[in-house]
Amino acid sequence: MDMTLESCRSFVQVLASSAPAPGGGGAAALVGAIGTALGNMVGSLTVGKKKYADVEAEIIALKEKCDALQTELLDQVEADDKGFVPLAKAYGIPKDDPNREAILEEATLTACAVPMHIMELCCQAIGYIQIFAEKGSRLAVSDAGCAAVCCKAALQAASLNVFINTKSLKNREAAQALNAKANGMLSTYCALADGIFNTVKASFGQ
Q: What domains are there in the chain, each with its CATH number?
A: 23-46+54-203 (1.20.120.680)
Q: Provide the total of helices (H) and of strands (E) in the chain, helices listed first.
A: 6, 0
pLDDT band, residue 3 (cuts 50/70/90): confident
Compute φ and ψ for 23, nearest 5 degrees.
-130, -145
Whole-number Å distance between alpha carbons of 85 and 114: 12
Give the pLDDT confidence score for residue 1 in this predicted structure.
Answer: 66
pTM: 0.94
Whole-number Å distance between alpha carbons of 30 and 161: 14
Give the pLDDT confidence score for residue 72 in this predicted structure.
Answer: 98
Write b or e for each residue in 121-151: b if 16 or more Cβ atoms lie within 10 A of its Cβ, otherwise e. Answer: bbbbbbbbbbbbbebbbeebbbbbbbbbbbb
